Amino acid sequence: MKRTSVLKLALFATGLSGIVAEYVLATLASYFIGDSIVQWTLIISLMLFFMGLGARMSQNIQKREFEWFVATEFTLSILVSFAAVSTYALAGFYKHTGIFIYFLAVLIGFLIGLELPLAMRLNERFEELKINVSSILEKDYYGSLLGGVFFAFVGLPYLGLTYTPFILGTINLLAAIALINFFPSISEKTQRWRLNIMAFSVLGIIGLGAVFANKIVLFGEQNRYKDKVILSEQSRYQKIVMTEWKDDVWLYLNHQLQFCTYDEAMYHEVLVHPAMLFQKAPTNILILGGGDGCAARELLKYPSVQKIDLVDLDPAVTNLAKEHPVLMEVNQNSLNNDKVHVLNQDGYIYVENTKEFYDVIIIDLPDPRSIELARLYSVEFYEMCKKLLRPNGVVITQAGSPYFATNSFNCIYKTMSATGLSTIRLHNQIITMGEWGWVLGVKNEKTKEELIAQLQNARLAVPTKWLNEDGLKLITSFGKNFFTDDADSIKINKVHEPVVHRYFLKGSWDLY
């Protein structure tokens, strides 16, 4: 083995752990702050900037380069290992967790930038400049590629954000141990022993952290939520948390409340039954989102329904709905019904490619708080949904709060109306969620007034927990002149010109 091989192997390992550290921090920022595209952009840009600053500062290290390099590896191992655990623990006590995540990004970026020039200086006596620079950078970049593949296909989906960083920290540390014992820069046995003792002490710290990581995360999660946490799971796409108080359970995805068993009927019955009332005998139904199974539960009350295609991106959510006793009780085991076909894929892609046609499309997706979610509220998306509807077919989408995010709600209404569907707004006061809204579109040429009158005069033919004929009048009434139809002030949301996420984020959520 060449004398520099161990150094290059170490750089391959640190390149791997370094890039995954960036992805871990960007994912954490997305979960805790929101708007994933912005967070990924800022975190990676910030880390790259401080990598440059670290590289510049390395010129101030005039001697003992090897000791500095190894110390950098030790520090990176600890910081990377505890990045996620410390963030979750801190989130239970400190509202502005994003500041801590950005601080970690700055520190880790600086240290990564420091180590590459030091490695080149360590290698310069063994290889000429052009080979030295290219080979050092080559191994680091190769490690980055493997790190990206590892994070996307192994780390996040199988190990989660809790344990992936510990694997990376250990890899980084093992690389440092290999350097200490095999790289020809230490001649004194005393110095090698001292560094080995330090290395194995760090390994012990990482090991203890990994052993108690889950308990630390649960401790942080418990402090973040008012009620007892009964489930905390990291999927490839989001953090899933269930809490319990007395006889009721709350479901959160990425810290956003999805429903509470106390009053979820006030949401799901309004989501489903008004749309079904515009159909005489609907047979084929599409649900986009709705992985908890509650919308499917309501649809299965209609004898005419023959098939329900439920498209939800995250298999972890739909599996919970199929297997977890609490969710199975709430959704009445709907996702295990033979009429329900669960497909775990992106809703936009499904609508774009499917050859199926539907009587009713139920859209129960997360709020449009980011650019990637905004496309699921775009005019292009609603136009594709319209093409899938049979004559007189109905599409309904949850549309956030009409009072706390009025512009976002109106944007969704205007966007769906722009497809030529006849549209109306609906709303309801949900005890645990506040005032919430939906937008319903029908594939016919009726006026808004005619649709409202039809709904207000309808009669429910299936059992419900909250919704009745009086409720149908309530959900279609907003009061005098509360909403405006000023096309100049509210823009239509488009895939290539997304605006709804900005309207949503600028809502009066501080009053919520």
Mean pLDDT, residues 247-253: 92
Between β-strands 256-260 and 248-253, what pairing exists: parallel, antiparallel or unpaired? antiparallel
Which residue's entry shows tokens 């801190």? 90
| 397 — pLDDT class (breaks 50, 70, 90) | very high
Q: What pLDDT shows up at residue 482?
A: 56
Residues for the chain: how many in total?
Answer: 512
Domain match, 184 and 269 both: no
Domain match, 276 and 423 both: yes
Q: What pLDDT shows up at residue 299?
A: 97
Domain match, 195 and 310 both: no
Domain boundary among 163, 197, 224: 224
Inform me whether the pLDDT recorded for 346 exceeds 70.
Answer: yes
Pairwise CA distance, residues 244 & 406, whole Å: 31
Domain total in the chain: 2
Domain match, 280 and 154 both: no
How many Cα atoms sit within 13 Å of 490 on the Cβ side?
22
- Which among 436, 431, 373, 432 is positioned nearest to 399, based on CA atoms? 436
Domain match, 273 and 128 both: no
Residue 239 inside a domain? The answer is no
Q: What pLDDT shows up at residue 1?
A: 43
| 104 — pLDDT class (breaks 50, 70, 90) | very high
Inform me whether the pLDDT recorded for 10 exceeds 60.
Answer: yes
Mean pLDDT, residues 141-146: 84
Mean pLDDT, residues 288-294: 96
Helix (H, G, I), strand (E, B) or coil at 143: helix
Residue 252 inside a domain? The answer is no
Lowest-confidence pick of 173-177, 271-275, 310-314: 173-177
Pairwise CA distance, residues 9 & 3, whole Å: 11
Domain boundary among 203, 224, 245: 224
Lowest-confidence pick of 155-164, 342-351, 414-423: 155-164
Helix (H, G, I), strand (E, B) or coil at 77: helix
Contact by Cβ (8 Å): 223, 257: no
Determine which one of 292, 359, 364, 367 is catalytic: 364
The yes-or-no answer on residue 364 being catalytic is yes
Inform me whether the pLDDT recorded for 164 exceeds 60.
Answer: yes
Domain match, 203 and 279 both: no
Q: What pLDDT shows up at residue 96?
A: 78
For 489, the domain range is 263-511
Mean pLDDT, residues 7-30: 83
Q: What pLDDT shows up at residue 127?
A: 63
Domain match, 148 and 66 both: yes
| 499 — pLDDT class (breaks 50, 70, 90) | very high
Cα–Cα–Cα angle for 76, 82, 88, rounded to 5 degrees: 145
Inform me whether the pLDDT recorded for 129 exceeds 70.
Answer: no
Lowest-confidence pick of 110-119, 296-305, 444-453: 110-119
Mean pLDDT, residues 294-312: 97
Provide the CATH number for the domain around residue 417.
3.40.50.150
Contact by Cβ (8 Å): 278, 394: yes
* More confident call, 117 vs 331: 331
Inform me whether the pLDDT recorded for 507 exceeds 90.
Answer: no
Inform me whether the pLDDT recorded for 511 exceeds 70.
Answer: no
CA dihedral 405, 409, 415, 419 (to 10 degrees): 170
Mean pLDDT, residues 450-477: 92
Q: What pLDDT shows up at residue 138?
A: 79
Q: Report which listed range, 49-63, 84-98, 139-153, is most confident.
A: 49-63
Domain match, 76 and 198 both: yes
Tell me the β-bridge partners of 317: none
Q: What pLDDT shows up at residue 324?
A: 95
Inform me whether the pLDDT recorded for 340 exceeds 50.
Answer: yes
* More confident call, 147 vs 345: 345
State the chain's mean pLDDT as an integer.
88
Q: What pLDDT shows up at residue 237?
A: 84
Contact by Cβ (8 Å): 359, 276: no
Domain boundary among 163, 194, 224: 224
Provide the CATH number for the domain around residue 9.
1.20.1250.20
Question: What is the token pair recorded at 262?
Answer: 């106390």
Domain match, 470 and 389 both: yes
